[in-house]
Amino acid sequence: MPKQSNQLTLLDASNLPGGCKPPLFGLDAEALAARMVDLGEPAFRGRQIAEAMYSQWLKELHEITTLPKPLRRRLADQGWQIGRPGISRAFQSADGTERYLIEFEGSGPKNETTEAVWMPEGDGGEAGDGSDDHSKNWRRATVCVSSQIGCAVNCQFCLTAKLGLQRNLNAGEIAGQVVAVLERHAVRVGRDRVNLVFMGMGEPFLNYDNFMAAVRLLVREVGLSPLRMTVSTSGIVPGIERFAQEPPEVRPKLAISLNAPNDAIRAEVMPINRKWPIAAVVDAVRKVSLRPRERITFEYVLLGGVTDQPGHARELARLVRSTGLAAKVNLIAWNPGPGIAYTTPSVADVEAFRALMAGEGIPVYLRQPRGRDIFAACGQLKRTVESSTAAQPSSS
């Protein structure tokens, strides 16, 4: 990985136990073909493995019947495995949301987990971003996945920050969360409308290479559209600048976790602002060439008495207008978490804030809280098996 002295410290993934082969899941068809050639096999065997893992969602080498039995035995004897992450535990919310502990096989320490979320019907976060399509009778859902275990950014309102950064996830571990959730819900890729948001644990742009490698896998191998993907960053300027160079055929939409109308408040709730203030973040975002009808999303968490007052709404509207960007604002009423000393704004204050923004001519949408009772809502993810007594865990 290139040196990133201008970013927060990155942690390397844990080394594999001695003698174990790295998982095949996470390699694209070209890399798998090269592995097969190295083993004296024709390159098309690699493409067969890719098809089995990413289209058929097979999890064991012996299930890949397009491979000859002697080759399957040989690969197994040599220690190769698919090694796709799996759901070790699922929690079900009263609103239908599901939160998962995702366990990694063969690529990290035993029993290490991260978290992903399935939101049937989504939470309204994609509204107005240029990906709306109501012309078809889609089955709609949103999948939220993680890019790291823990997070180093230390946003004061976020439960994941309590963990600190434990390690980066590799491309297979990120993409594997998506495939595991799609398989659980029997999603028909290309037929069901499923939005994918990189808004779980971690800061994707502090794990940039692995994040984008996962995106390329999901687009080129699994068949998902980048127009149905959104990545949220706290404002990692070097990452945004790299992101601006990505070709549109594999680039997700961009969301900026803004959460305050000015630098003074933002630096208090998001210490990263002291390194990259709002103006620097906006300058970097301006380098992203948007597709037709695409908008930048500014995510804004409403903290009771801190960022939710009418003056904040008017200041935020002026800020968004001043950027000159094709943009919209997603409002999120803060989701409570243990040990975090903020309050959720009242319904009246949230609606007043939204109305003021709309009155200022800003496209503004309210993201609905999903899965609060199982700590699955925005800002609540934490590597834990805790859940409320109202939500019972289900088997995976």
Residue 127: what pLDDT?
Answer: 53
Side-chain-side CA neighbours of residue 201 (13 Å): 31
Per-residue pLDDT reduced to its tens digit, 246-296: 999 999 999 999 999 999 999 999 999 999 999 999 999 999 999 999 999
- Provide the whole-model pTM: 0.87
Length of the chain (residues): 396
pLDDT at 167 over 90: yes
CA–CA gap between residue 302 and residue 304 (Å, rounded):
6
CA–CA gap between residue 346 and residue 357 (Å, rounded):
17
Q: Which residues are catalytic?
A: 115, 378
Residue 33 backbone dihedrals phi, psi, to 5 degrees: -60, -40
Boundaries of every domain in the chain:
29-78, 86-374
Is 395 labelled as part of a ligand binding site? no
Per-residue pLDDT reduced to its tens digit, 93-126: 888 899 999 998 655 556 678 899 999 975 555 5
Is 258 labelled as part of a ligand binding site? yes
Q: Which of 40-44, 164-168, 377-381 has the highest mean pLDDT?
A: 40-44
Give residue 131's pLDDT band: very low, low, confident or very high (50, 70, 90). low
Mean pLDDT, the chain, integer: 86
Is 232 labelled as part of a ligand binding site? yes
266: tokens are 């933002």
Residue 11: what pLDDT?
Answer: 33
Residue 19: what pLDDT?
Answer: 52
Superfamily classification of domain 86-374: Aldolase class I (3.20.20.70)
- Contact between 384 and 341 under an 8 Å Cβ cutoff? The reply is no
| Choice between 71 and 369, residue whose per-residue pLDDT is larger | 71
- Contact between 202 and 151 under an 8 Å Cβ cutoff? The reply is yes
Mean per-residue pLDDT for 16-41? 87
pLDDT at 388 over 90: no
CATH ID of 29-78, from 2.40.370.10, 1.20.120.350, 2.60.40.10, 1.10.150.530? 1.10.150.530
pLDDT at 386 over 50: no
pLDDT at 300 over 80: yes
235: tokens are 């404002």
Per-residue pLDDT reduced to its tens digit, 195-235: 999 999 999 999 999 999 999 999 999 999 999 999 999 99
pLDDT at 310 over 90: yes
Is 151 labelled as part of a ligand binding site? yes
Residue 307: what pLDDT?
Answer: 97
Is 20 labelled as part of a ligand binding site? no
Per-residue pLDDT reduced to its tens digit, 8-22: 333 333 344 445 678
